[in-house]
Structure formats: structure tokens, C-alpha cells
Amino acid sequence: MRENDTWDALPQRLPDWFRDAPLGIFIHWGPYSVPAWAEPTAELGAIESDLGWFAHNPYAEWYFNTSRIEGSPAREHHRKVHGDAPYDDFLDQWDPSAFDPAAWAELFRRAGADYVVPTTKHHDGITLWDAPGTGDRNTVRRGPRRDLVGEIARATTDAGLRFGVYYSGGLDWHVRPTEPLVSGEDVGDLKRPRDDEYGTYCSAHMRDLIDRYQPDVFWNDIGWPDENFHFEAGGLGELLEHFYSQRPEGLINDRFAGAHQDFVTTEYQAGEIPEDQPWENCRGIGLSFGYNQVEDESQYMSGAQAVRHVVDAVSKGGRVLLNVGPRADGTLPELQVAVLEALGEFMAEHKAQLAGSRGLGELEIPGARWARAVEQDGTCSVFLSGPQGDLAIGAADLPEGYDWPAGGVTVELAGEDAAPVAVSARRTDDRR
């Protein structure tokens, strides 16, 4: 039973570092990076019904589930290419011989990120560190034979970035196996584990991650087993108390089935932006989080699109957790690197305008296809994209209470395929 007064006694946090962070980097890397295959269908949220979504799931990290759905393209691919091999064969085949965590962290820093959140256990149940109770089913004992979480954590903090952890508390297809999940109802209700024993297993993993790697973000996924919603030993309540006590600037997301949260998450196009709450949008550079060898430029964001996505989120009071999906060997796909480098060029010039700003949302400016605004210390920064050429903007195009230094300004737009340009206006009244 959830005791509201006890849960409500947990801290509610928005630390300065997170409030001021426009961008974080998500990393989905696991045995699924060996087959690296999914059907590139559509972004999550772009299809109204989930009927058929799971059989045609574009998420490569869901390969174990999708490849077991009879009639799915992934099922046919698994039979044809991998001979119906057991999923754990991919763990043994996983050889990250080209993995350079310091190079990753440096790229993320150049991209303008403030925090990095790698997967530590996805729904396949394989942990990227020697997690308690996993036996040899982890990356230290098999496959890579490396503590990948520890290596990423050290490189991240050495680069001056905050470190967080993703953990799948709601699903574990090895410890709590089920028939393939084929609907949202399966995931959220019918086929998810609810028992306290599984919750205690997850809690021991997370406590180990907290004590070993000192994460500042606890990013849970797919909920948490209902019977573990308690403050006794091994319960979720005790775990969160431990996290908050050990990490004074740490915070958690909203994927604990309503138990507690510090910020709200949306994913691709799914989810609603909350009012007056901190929030974060997560998405891949392509349609998948895990590396998908089928994807090409037609599924990937361009650098300019990634820039607009980040600016759009910040203009609406949020931030972006942008995912990279490394290949099994530890290299980052060139198209993903190019997007991060383009983000870095933009952020090197404009991050100071975004970090810690107050979002002013979308603007309707004639001649511009896209316009967003933020304010910081009385300065309104307007970011614009549109057809290449000069664009004159008057005071009437600004939010109420702002004006250009000379009553108007002319900007040179670089074209719709280029990153937005920025111009600044000043507040003309005393409102804050």
C-alpha cells in the first residue's frame, strides 16, 4: 500500500545544474547492438494506435521481443540471418574492441551536453556491470568482459559532465520471462512483473549503481513492480531515500508508476508537455535508440533538425536527452557523430542563451518558417529558420514587453536546411 504522507516526504528536486542543462546524451548499447536490426517504420507517437507497433517496432533494443513475434519482419530476419539463435549468443559475440569512452565523452562535451545517461540494464536483463544476482549474465563475466558502466562513468565525470543511469525496472525478459509483448496493455499491465521479489532484485541493482558510480540521474523505465512500493528493506521507498541521501544534487524521472518524480519525460512524439513542471524529451537521432544497421539518412535527423529540436524544447521549458546508439564494436555511427558535431557548432555560440533561460515558446513571424524565443536576464533571444535571404522583423513580431534596440532588425536566414540564426531583443517593461 502506498502511504502518501511517507512518499510525499521524499525530496522534490530541481537542482541548478539540471535546470540549466539544455541537452543530455542518452546511450543505448547492449547485446542488441550485435544484430542491430529493426524495421524502420515511424517515430513513437506518430501512429495513433499501438496495434501493429510491436510487430513492426523500430527500436532495435527491443530485438529480443520483436524477433519472437510470429509474422513480424524481425522474426523472419532472425530466422534467416541468425538461424533462430538464442538471444544470449549475442552477449557472447559482443566485442567492443574499438570502444573509447574518453573519446565519447569528449564528443558529448563538444556537442554542448551537460549530462550522460547510459543504459545499465535494458529489458533483456543483461547488465553492463557486474550486478548482484546476475551470475555470469553481464558484460564483466561474458562477452565484452568489461565494466562498461564504470568506464563510461569515469570518462563522463573526467570530461566535467554529470553522470546518470538508465535502468529498466518495469521489464526483465530473463528474470521474469513472458510471451512476446504485442500491445501497450501488455507492457503496462498484463505481462509486467508486479512481485516484491523482483522489485527487491531491481532495488539491489540500483543501490549497487548508486554506491559504485554516484549517478546524479536515476532514469527508470516502464514502471516498477507494485508489491515493492514500500519503505522496508529492499523496497522502492527505501531505495529512493538512499539515492537522495547519497546524491544531494540527484533527481529521478517520472517512470516509477506514479510513486514519485522530479521531472516529466516525453519520448519522440509521445507524451504531453506538462505545465509548470520540469520536463525532458528523449529520442534517438534516428527512429531507434539502439543502433539499427537498416537506418540511413532518410531516417536520421540532420544537424539543423537536431538544433531546432533542442531549441524548441528549451523554448517550452524543457530539455532534450538525445540518444546515440553505438555499434557493437564501440564506434559511433558517422551520421550520429555528424549530428553531434553540428550541435556542437551551434551550442558553442548559443548555449549561453539557452542555459538557464525562461522559455517564451513559438513565435509567428511572417517570412520565417520556424521561430522560437527564450529570455534570460531581460534579453529575449529569437531563433529563426526559413528560406535563404534577408528578413525584416518589427517589434510587433516579438512577445509583448520586448523591442529591438532600434525598433526593428533585419536578419539573414541561411536556408531551411541550416541551423537557425539568433537575434536579441530587450525587455521594455519591469515584468519578470
Contact 187, 171 (CB under 8 A): yes
Q: Which amino acid is at 409?
A: V
Strand 23-27 with 115-121, pairing:
parallel
| Run of H or E residues at 210 | helix 196-213
The H-assigned helical ranges of 125-175 are 148-158
CA–CA gap between residue 407 and residue 409 (Å, rounded): 7
Residue 408 is predicted with a pLDDT of 83
Burial class (CB in 10 A: 0-12, 13-18, 19+), 2: middle
Please state, as a whole number, how many other Cβ atoms lie within 10 Å of the Cβ of residue 362: 13
Distance CA 109, CA 161 (A): 7
Q: Grid coordinates representing 106?
A: 569528449
| Residue 263 DSSP class | S
Burial of 219-249, coded b for 16+ CB within 10 Å and e otherwise, reads: bbbebbbbbbbbbeebbbbbbbbebbeebee
What whole-number distance in Å separates Cα of residue 49 and Cα of residue 219? 26
**pLDDT at position 1, please?**
42
| pLDDT tens-digit readout, 213-270 | 999 999 999 999 999 999 999 999 999 999 999 999 999 999 999 999 999 999 999 9
How far, in Å, are 65, 194, 373 from residue 187 at the CA level? 11, 12, 38
End-to-end Cα separation, the chain, in angstroms: 43
Mark the ranges of the chain whose per-residue pLDDT is less than 50: 1, 431-432
In this predicted model, what pLDDT tens digit does every residue of 379-409 receive, in sequence order?
Answer: 999 999 999 999 999 888 888 889 988 778 9
Read off the amino acid at residue 323: N
Which residues on neighbouring strands pair with residue 266, listed in sequence order?
281
Rounded to the nearest 10 degrees, how much is the dihedral formed by the CA atoms of 87, 93, 95, 101?
0
Residue 209: count of CB within 10 angstroms of its CB:
22
The Cα–Cα gap between 26 and 340 comes to 12
371 and 384 in contact (C-beta within 8 Å)? yes
Give the contacts of 114 (CB within 8 A, at least 6 positions apart): 17, 20, 21, 22, 23, 24, 161, 162
Q: What is the pTM of this model?
A: 0.97
Distance CA 125, CA 169 (A): 10
Beta bridge partner(s), residue 403: 426
| Spatial separation of the C-alpha atoms in residues 199 and 26, rounded to whole Å | 24
CA–CA gap between residue 174 and residue 136 (Å, rounded): 13
Q: What is the DSSP string of 273-296?
A: PPSSS-EEEEEESSS-SS--TT--
Burial of residue 16 (number of CB atoms within 10 Å: 0-12, 13-18, 19+):
exposed
